[in-house]
Amino acid sequence: MGELDETSSVAYQPANKSKIRKLWIIALIMAVITAIEFVFATVLPRGPLLYFTFVALTIVKAFYIVAEFMHLKGEVKTLIWSIIIPLVFVVWLIIALLAEGASIFELKF
């Protein structure tokens, strides 16, 4: 058999400073939102206001992640609304089911 003559070369590409800066900005925004959640967790008393705040801030973070990393920010508005509207209904369904379950639990016990 003949000898294989394979050559491979690795070329160094300089870092794209604008992309790295954008990632740091995204990380900073996520850290600020998480810090706000942490402060609310230590300051606010346990109850519906705290839980609503956590859910709202989590949805903000999730939307920001989807907008930046899944490139949804530059998409057509119809596509964005087709994702957000079902999300709102699912969150509403979860809240309604929790409220209904709590009321049934109070009636039974």
Closest CA to 28 of 72, 36, 55: 36
Contact residues for 19 (Cβ-Cβ < 8 A; gap 6+): none
Predicted confidence (pLDDT) per residue in 17-37, tens digit? 888 898 899 899 999 999 998
pLDDT in tens, 37-85: 899 889 988 888 888 888 888 888 888 888 887 777 777 778 778 877 8
